[in-house]
Homo-oligomer: A and B are copies of this chain.
Amino acid sequence: MTEANNGAPRELGVALLGMGNVGAEVVRIITENADDLRERIGASLVIRGIAVRDASRDRGVPRELLTTDPGALVRRDDVDIIIEVLGGIEPPRELIRTALEQGKSVVTANKALLAEYTGELAKAAAEANVDLYFEAAVAGAIPVVRPLMQSLAGDKVQRVAGIVNGTTNFILSAMDADGDDYDTVLAEAGRLGYAEADPTADVEGYDAASKAAILASIAFHTRVTAADVYREGITKVTAADLAAARKFDCTIKLLSICERVAGPDGAESVSARVYPALIPLSHPLATVNGAYNAVVVEAENAGRLMFYGQGAGGAPTASAVMGDVVMAARNKVHAGRGPLESTYASLPVIAIKDVPTRYYVAMNVLDRPGVLEGVAGEFAKHDVSIAAVRQEGDGEQTRLVVITHRAPDGALAQTVAALESMEAVTAVSSVLRMEGTDD
């Protein structure tokens, strides 16, 4: 930093790693809002360099800012804050660690990296007494990380449940609205730019699982990594499931759920899981449609809070990045530091098999007397209590849908196996969970 006569910095150097959608918006905001940012920080933000793969392409910024050597950029003496918007684990992991060790504060939107390596990065930040901020890693523009880490720092969070992946929410919303099946809507999402060419990370729930790991870690002061998060994607959800859900006054959403629960031994534990689930239409998350995100937080004293907004996109994500940049810059000016992750609670993370949930089971059955009785008998035999049943169609097309009360994963799996071996059940077509109800 360049210092004024009184020792306070006059300029703070910023470097970007990556200049895709988000990076380009960050550069635009730093340039267009320079005067406001200077007033809010107490020093000017000056972009020292931008690491890109191809420095010869025109990106609307002075050519001399572009470099293909990010390693040199994170070591520059005149850089105070690194903004990482590359994505992926390596090289960002190595670059961020180096930057922190060099005393630079880091702002990143990299959920995949954070879901694995927040621990080592936070340690490096603590040792160097600098900031590691990542509001943009979860739910785009929506302030969630800062409220959980700071506003709720005096409360006890019980549960965080969110729709934090825009692609899958767009697909499920469209399937629900139009009655189209998954493949049709996925293709449409691709055409509209809501799904990537390879949509695996989104539709298989990997992205949502990374975010669940980040949220659970903060909410419960416990290290939770992506590997700890149970994960199911939305590829098996059918138009028939959405139609059936509607008959039970429900819709289906891909939820990231982080919960403080009693473990199998009764000890206070954490569950983190991602799956498509039926939720009642009256639930606040049921009306979150399209590419929007929302996160519901339940805390002992605050009660239920909801945060809603745009979960992705260049400008919204850049807004979250810039909030972090201003705070990190301000801390450089005032020689302070924001709170880092804390994992003192170190609660055990329990397996999905130890989390009882409600289930939706759809099956094709033969249209003959006694089928419902037989099906109900299998549920009862495995101690899975039925909450509601609907039978639809007739002849070969007869479909039976069962909603259960809470049951352990294992008991439900045994029930499904038993149903599949019944002569009258031609196929168990769907098994989904149900969330957002009290019973």
- Could you say how many copies of this chain the assembly holds? 2
Is A315 within 8 A of B337, CB to CB? Answer: no
Stretch at the interface among A1-9, A160-168, A339-347: A339-347
Q: Is A152 an interface residue (CB 8 A)?
A: yes
Rounded to whole Å, the gap between the CB of A341 and the closest CB of chain B is 11
Asked whether A248 is an interface residue with its Cβ less than 8 Å from the other chain, the reply is no
Which residues of B are found within 8 Å of A302, using beta-carbon distances?
141, 309-310, 315-316, 319-320
- When C-beta atoms are compared, the residue in chain B nearest to A339 turns out to be B330
A156 to B32, CA, bound (A): 11
Partner of A146, one of B150, B155, B156: B150
In the complex, whether A39 has a CB less than 8 A from a CB of chain B is yes
Q: Which of A150, A156, A308 has the most CB of B within 10 A?
A: A150
Are the CB atoms of B154 and A33 closer together than 8 Å?
Answer: yes
| B316:A301 contact, CB within 8 angstroms | yes
Interface check A305, CB cutoff 8 A? yes
Choice from B33, B143, B331 contacting A305 with Cβ under 8 Å: B143
User: Assuming the A-B contacts A336-B335, A337-B334, are A151 and B323 also in contact, with contact meaning beta carbons closer than 8 angstroms in the complex?
Assistant: yes
CB pair B307 A305 closer than 8 Å: yes
Shortest distance from the beta carbon of A225 to any chain B beta carbon, whole Å? 21
Chain B residues positioned under 8 Å from A316 (CB to CB): 301-303
Give the chain B neighbours of A229 by CB distance below 8 A.
none
CA–CA, A33 and B322, complex, Å: 34
Find A309's partner among B303, B336, B339 (CB 8 Å cutoff): B303
B303 & A306 in contact (Cβ 8 Å cutoff): no
Question: Is A37 positioned at the interface, with any CB of B under 8 Å from its CB?
Answer: yes
In the assembled complex, the CB of A357 is this many whole angstroms from the nearest CB of chain B, namely 25
Instruction: Check B284 against A39 for contact (C-beta < 8 Å).
Output: no
* Cross-chain contact B301 with A141 (CB below 8 angstroms): yes
Q: Give chain A's interface residue range (CB within 8 Å of chain B).
A: 35 or more
* Structural contact, B303 and A154, CB atoms closer than 8 A: no
A414 to B37, CA, bound (A): 44
Distance of A336 Cα from B328 Cα, bound (Å): 12
A59 on the interface (CB 8 Å rule)?
A: no
Q: Mark A325-360, 1 if CB is under 8 A from B, else 0.
A: 111001100111101001011000000000000000
B146 and A323 contact, CB distance less than 8 A: no
Bound-complex Cα distance A327 to B310 (A): 27
Contact A153 B327 (CB under 8 A): yes
Hey, which chain B residues are within 8 Å of A63, CB to CB? none
> Which B residues lie within 8 Å of A156 (CB)?
33, 36
Q: Report B-chain residues with C-beta under 8 Å of the C-beta of A300.
A: 315, 319
Q: Which among A153, A315, A335 has the highest number of chain B CB atoms within 10 Å?
A: A153
Q: Is A318 an interface residue (CB 8 A)?
A: yes
Q: Does A304 contact B (CB under 8 A)?
A: yes
Per-position binary interface string of chain A over residues 279-290, scored 1 when its CB falls under 8 Å from any chain B CB and 0 otherwise: 000001000000
Q: Which residue of B lies closest to A298 (CB)?
A: B309
In contact, A310 and B306 (Cβ under 8 angstroms): no
| Interface pair B146/A151, CB less than 8 Å apart | yes
CB distance from A7 to the nearest CB of B (A): 15
**Alpha-carbon separation in the docked complex, A19 to B310 (Å):** 40
Contact B307 A307 (CB under 8 A): yes
What distance in Å separates the Cβ of A127 from its nearest Cβ neighbour in chain B? 14
**CA distance in complex: A382, B383 (Å):** 74
Interface residue? A40 (CB, 8 A): yes
Known interface pairs A152-B323, A301-B318; 10 further A-B residue pairs with C-beta atoms within 8 A, sorted by A's residue number: A33-B156, A39-B221, A40-B221, A141-B305, A153-B323, A299-B319, A300-B315, A301-B319, A303-B310, A331-B336
> Can you report 23 A-B residue pairs in the complex whose CB atoms are below 8 A from each other?
A25-B301, A29-B154, A29-B301, A33-B156, A37-B154, A39-B345, A40-B154, A40-B221, A141-B301, A141-B302, A143-B151, A146-B150, A151-B320, A153-B323, A153-B326, A154-B319, A154-B324, A154-B326, A299-B319, A301-B318, A306-B308, A334-B337, A336-B336
Pairs of residues from A and B, 7 with the lowest C-beta to C-beta distance, nearest first: A154-B322, A336-B336, A143-B151, A141-B302, A153-B326, A301-B319, A305-B309
